[in-house]
Amino acid sequence: MAKIDIAQIKKLKELSGVGLTDAKQALVEADGDFDKALEAMRKKGLTKAEKRGDRETREGRIDSYVHDGRIGAIVEVNCETSFVAKTEEFKDLAHKIAMQVASMAPLYVTVDDIPEEDMAKKRAEFEENFKGPEKMKDQIISGQIKKAFADKVLMDQPYILDDSKTVADFIKDNIAKTGENITVRQFKRIELGVTE
């Protein structure tokens, strides 16, 4: 068995947001391989994060971002406790979400926020122009609809500071770190000279 260094345990604890005992156990299970232990803890943390997804979020903060005096965004990001809402990490998260909204101009927070009539209109448009095999029609059209709205849904957009993950993945990473459910309740984007 590899010797487990206390500095590695502390570093793993800090990066994964787990307790010292869990960090040490992960290193023992990974036979001292730090990267392997970190990956295992991230998976464990993300699994826990998904379970937290249905817990109520009544605290949080409103943050904003203004780019070059021409584009601005204001967001409401919620968590479970005022303690987490006041942390620098949560403030940073809210600010980065505001930057995302300013930069990528989403229209909806989640797919569920897309009005039914917009979905129906898009479906009718794709059905009218469909030229594929009939037995694959529903599947293909559903894929086309998802693709058509992908860049308009905040949670499905590639995260601007790391496009290997979506905004939803970025939030899940933060849920794993804080141990609390985190949601984006609403946002507003304003661009100079552009009205809705």
Same domain, yes or no: 83 and 156:
yes
Q: Tell me the whole-structure pTM to 2 decimals.
A: 0.66
CATH code where residue 35 lies: 1.10.8.10
Same domain, yes or no: 157 and 94:
yes
Report pLDDT for 54.
55
How many distinct structural domains can be found in the chain?
Answer: 3
Same domain, yes or no: 97 and 22:
no
- Classify residue 82: in a domain, yes or no: yes
Q: 66-72, long-range: CB within 8 Å, 24+ apart, which pairs?
A: 66/102, 67/102, 67/103, 69/192, 70/191, 70/192, 71/102, 71/189, 71/190, 71/191, 71/192, 72/102, 72/189, 72/190, 72/191
Cα–Cα separations (whole angstroms), residue 146 to 93, 117, 149: 26, 15, 5
- Each residue's pLDDT, cut to its tens digit, for the chain (196 residues) gives 567 778 887 777 766 666 677 778 888 888 888 888 877 776 666 545 455 555 677 799 999 999 999 999 999 999 988 899 999 999 999 999 999 999 999 999 998 898 889 888 888 888 888 887 888 888 888 888 888 888 899 999 999 999 999 999 999 998 888 888 899 999 999 999 887 6
Report pLDDT for 165.
93
Write out the residue range of the structural domain in which residue 173 sits.
Answer: 59-109+152-191
- Classify residue 104: in a domain, yes or no: yes
Report pLDDT for 196.
65
Report pLDDT for 33.
83
Same domain, yes or no: 142 and 90:
no
Same domain, yes or no: 99 and 168:
yes
Report pLDDT for 43.
65
Chain centroid to Cα 74, Å, comes to 17
Chain centroid to Cα 66, Å, comes to 21
